[in-house]
């Protein structure tokens, strides 16, 4: 038996052997802790209720997390309950502490059950912790229930949509899988799951480089357009710089010239632009 296992068993045994508190004694300890910050009173109060922490933690052992961690988180909830307990309300401490202990354990499970964070709303918590129980109850009939009907009934019971139930059921169907797990291919070679995640997007440096080059080309073009006369500039804008390209014929009718004349002016304007760009930026031929 490992040392940690032996220590945990001794802790559980000690918790189970701690004496129960009578109502008046419990009230007195709570008053001493709340009014005087009496650490000895707090220790006796919490020690007597550690069996409650262990019992509640045991209800969540099927979520695959270490029992010792669940007990530790439950103890945090117990201390929180002791800090907030109001003895003058004449309520037993165990009744009040149960909610805090359970909440602390559930929050720990939600944070650590999966690396993918789930919903933290009250309905999402209820769905996470009750889905398996409700699904098992609905599956007890002689005839298997269709998944869609089961999701609808569970959704109505908890107050969420059937789509949320389906997503949660998918999350609970299996543990997280590492992307570094080897996968054997049909040809006998082995590769990690990461190798199959192909992204078609350009790399970050390529994206930034394209953005910088685009800004540079736009600035060059804006400066070069100054060599064109008004008619050449209108034709280039309509034919080359507009989202919807205007036809030579339509542009000719607008300017009162033939479409052939429009083509000649356009070609001449493009030559003037190219010459202006190369004159100002002789090393930028790749951008022209």
pLDDT of residue 119: 58
Domain ranges of the chain: 1-113, 119-175, 204-287
Confidence (pTM): 0.53
118, pLDDT greater than 70:
no
Please state which of the ranges 1-10, 107-116, 274-283 shows the lowest mean pLDDT: 1-10
pLDDT of residue 12: 76
The CATH fold assigned to 204-287 is Arc Repressor Mutant, subunit A (1.10.10)
261, pLDDT greater than 80:
yes
Higher pLDDT, 137 or 88: 88
What is the pLDDT of the chain when averaged over all its residues? 82
235, pLDDT greater than 60:
yes
1-113 maps to which CATH number? 1.20.120.1810
pLDDT of residue 142: 65
Percentage of residues in the chain with pLDDT exceeding 90?
A: 24
pLDDT of residue 162: 85
286, pLDDT greater than 70:
no
Higher pLDDT, 105 or 241: 105
11, pLDDT greater than 80:
no
Q: Phi and psi (nearest 5°) for 117?
A: -70, 130
3, pLDDT greater than 70:
no
| Report for 90-104, 172-186, 207-221, 243-257: range of highest mean pLDDT | 90-104
| Structure token pair of residue 118 | 């789930």
């Amino acid at each position: 038996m490992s040392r940690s296992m032996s220590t945990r068993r001794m802790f559980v045994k000690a918790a189970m052997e701690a004496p129960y508190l009578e109502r008046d004694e419990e009230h007195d300890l709570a008053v001493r802790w709340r009014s005087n910050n009496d650490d000895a009173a707090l220790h006796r109060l919490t020690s007597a209720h550690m069996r409650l922490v262990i019992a509640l933690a045991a209800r969540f052992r099927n979520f695959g997390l270490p029992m010792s961690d669940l007990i530790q988180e439950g103890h945090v909830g117990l201390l929180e309950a002791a800090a907030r307990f109001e003895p003058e309300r004449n309520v037993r401490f165990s009744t009040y502490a149960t909610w805090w202990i359970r909440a602390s354990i559930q929050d720990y499970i939600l944070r650590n059950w999966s690396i993918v964070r789930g919903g933290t709303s009250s309905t999402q918590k209820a769905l996470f912790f009750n889905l398996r129980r409700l699904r098992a109850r609905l599956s007890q009939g002689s005839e298997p229930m269709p998944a869609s009907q089961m999701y609808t009934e569970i959704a109505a019971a908890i107050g969420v949509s059937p789509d949320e139930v389906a997503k949660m059921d998918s999350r609970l169907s299996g543990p997280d899988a590492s992307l570094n797990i080897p996968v054997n291919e049909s040809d006998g070679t082995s590769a990690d799951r990461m190798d199959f995640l192909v992204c078609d997007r350009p790399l970050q440096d390529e994206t930034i480089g394209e953005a910088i080059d685009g800004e540079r080309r736009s600035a060059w073009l804006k400066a070069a357009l100054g060599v064109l006369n008004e008619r050449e500039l209108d034709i280039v804008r309509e034919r080359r710089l507009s989202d919807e390209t205007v036809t030579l014929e339509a542009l000719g009718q607008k300017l009162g010239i033939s479409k052939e004349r429009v083509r000649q002016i356009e070609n001449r304007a493009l030559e003037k632009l190219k010459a202006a760009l190369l004159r100002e930026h002789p090393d930028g031929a790749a951008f022209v």
